[in-house]
Structure 1
Amino acid sequence: MTTEHTAAHTAGHAAEHTARMNFTKAAPKVFQALVDLTMAAKEGLDYTLIELVQIRASQLNHCAYCLLMHTTDARKAGESEERINLVSAWHEAPGFFTEREQAALALTEAVTLLPGGVSDEVYHRAAKHFDDTELAKLIGVIFAINSWNRIAVTTSKVPGTA
């Protein structure tokens, strides 16, 4: 599929679907607060790790808008297709992800799904690879992407649109 074909395909789908509201215009202070939180949480963390976390949370939350954005951003940053394709099955592809990335992905799943809370095992696994500041920021990134996912899904934000 060529870039032109992909852009036309995306534009065609965007034309078929419209968002319920423009959250940015409807609540600019809330939007800006979430932007500020996101930027503060990301500061000092590895960009690849951030994108993997954002991709995984967006998969779990079924957020097509954020999933398209973060897989595109990861590709632009040089992330491999193999790793992007395997994020949803990272448990079965440990050789593709570092132990640090696996710990971050496990924490992402636990915080995103909150099936019974974040277990000590998952928390301590992450704490083994991240100091307190990094871990706090990682939790902030997970919190922020989950918030963005929920806004995009609730407002029916169209993938590939601004």
Structure 2
Amino acid sequence: MIALFWYLMAAMRTGRNILAVGGNPSAARYAGISIERTEFLVYVLSGAAAGLVGYLWTARFAIAYTQAAEGREFAIIAACVIGGVSIAGGRGTVIGAVLGAGFITIIDTALPFLRISPFAQTAILGAVILIAVAANAWTERKPGRQILRRDDASASQDSHSHGSAT
């Protein structure tokens, strides 16, 4: 599955379209990419992957328990962000997400062996997630100043000029 999704995202036009729609849907539409079709494809692929994972989870534990992975959503998002996937969309790689998942798995596996309490494990995982999200937000900052920023002097000057025109 990793190889299949890596090939889809790195070597096929469909993968570039998905990144374009995730990064800037307006620009993607101007580039001729069908937003609706791309989003539909992403939902289909996501549903198919979730179905396969559910099937494999059930096969592994030999029971279909609806709340088996409850609470893992946060760790999955953290794994993706740690792997370089942008929360805002349009950036990330399959390999990065896999490496992020490996990192979270190592933390989840190592902490009980270190005899750290479950409460502290949750706190450590939360701290890792906060650091990853902060790093993601910091790297996505736009450098430089805003082009359309108005300072107080020009705003007051504009209000005086508009008052004399009427």
Same fold (TM over 0.5): no
**TM-score relative to the length of structure 2:** 0.27
- Rg: which structure is higher? 2
**TM-score relative to the length of structure 1:** 0.27
Higher relative contact order (CA closer than 8 Å, sequence separation 6+): 1
